[in-house]
Amino acid sequence: MSKLGDAVLKIVCDSNIALTPGLRALSPDILQLPGRGITRDHLQHCDILLVRSITRVDTELVKGTPVRFVGTATAGTDHIDVPALAELGIPVAAAPGANANAVAEYVMTAIAASGRLPDVMGGLSVGVVGYGAVGQRVATLLLALGARPTVWDPWQVVPSQLAAADLESALSQSVVTLHASLHNTPPWPSRHLVSQHLVERIVAPQLLINAGRGGLIPRSALDGLVERGSQLVLDTWPDEPAIDEQLLAHTLIATPHIAGYSELAKELATEQLVGALQRSGLMAEQPPVETSCVRTFDATAIDLRQADWCEQLLLQHYPIIEDDRALRACANPGVMAADFDRLRAHYPLRGELRGTQLTLSGMPTIAQQQVLCGLGTQWR
The tens digit of pLDDT for each residue in 218-234 reads 999 999 999 999 999 99
Which residues, at least 6 apart from 201, have a Cβ–Cβ distance to it below 8 Å? 168
pLDDT of residue 213: 95
Q: How far apart are CA 304 and CA 319, in angstroms?
A: 19
Assign 202 a pLDDT band (cuts: 50, 70, 90): confident
366-374 helix and 133-145 helix, angle to the nearest 10 degrees: 170
Its pTM stands at 0.92
- The residue annotated as part of the active site, out of 52, 213, 350, 354, is 213
129: exposed, middle or buried (Cβ count in 10 Å: 0-12, 13-18, 19+): buried
Per the omega criterion (within 30 degrees of 0), is the bond before 205 cis? no
- Cα torsion angle, 245, 130, 70, 350, sign: positive
227 catalytic? Reply is no
311 catalytic? Reply is no
- The residue annotated as part of the active site, out of 79, 257, 344, 354, is 257
Q: How far apart are CA 224 and CA 101, in angstroms?
A: 30
Q: Residue 62 in contact with residue 43, Cβ under 8 Å? A: yes
Per the omega criterion (within 30 degrees of 0), is the bond before 241 cis? yes
DSSP state of 127: E
The tens digit of pLDDT for each residue in 293-313 reads 679 999 999 999 999 999 999
- The residue annotated as part of the active site, out of 52, 79, 137, 240, is 240
Do the strands 207-210 and 356-359 form a parallel or antiparallel pair, or are they unpaired? Answer: unpaired
User: Among residues 190, 188, 187, which one has the least CA distance to residue 178?
Assistant: 190
Task: Look at phi and psi of residue 123 and say left if phi exceeds 0, alpha if psi is from -120 to 50, else beta.
Answer: left
What is the fold of 100-254?
Rossmann fold (3.40.50)
Q: How far apart are CA 293 and CA 351, in angstroms?
A: 12
- The fraction of the chain above a pLDDT of 70, given in percent, is 96
pLDDT of residue 1: 43
36 catalytic? Reply is no
Q: Class of 3-94+263-280 per CATH?
A: alpha beta
Cβ burial 56-77 (10 Å sphere, 16+ → b, else e): ebeeebbeebebbbbbbbbbbb
The average pLDDT across 282-291 equals 64
Through-space distance between the first and last CA atoms of the chain, rounded to whole angstroms: 42
pLDDT of residue 286: 64
Fold match between domain 3-94+263-280 and domain 100-254: yes
pLDDT of residue 205: 79
| Extents of the domains making up the chain | 3-94+263-280, 100-254, 295-318+350-379
- The fraction of the chain above a pLDDT of 90, given in percent, is 89
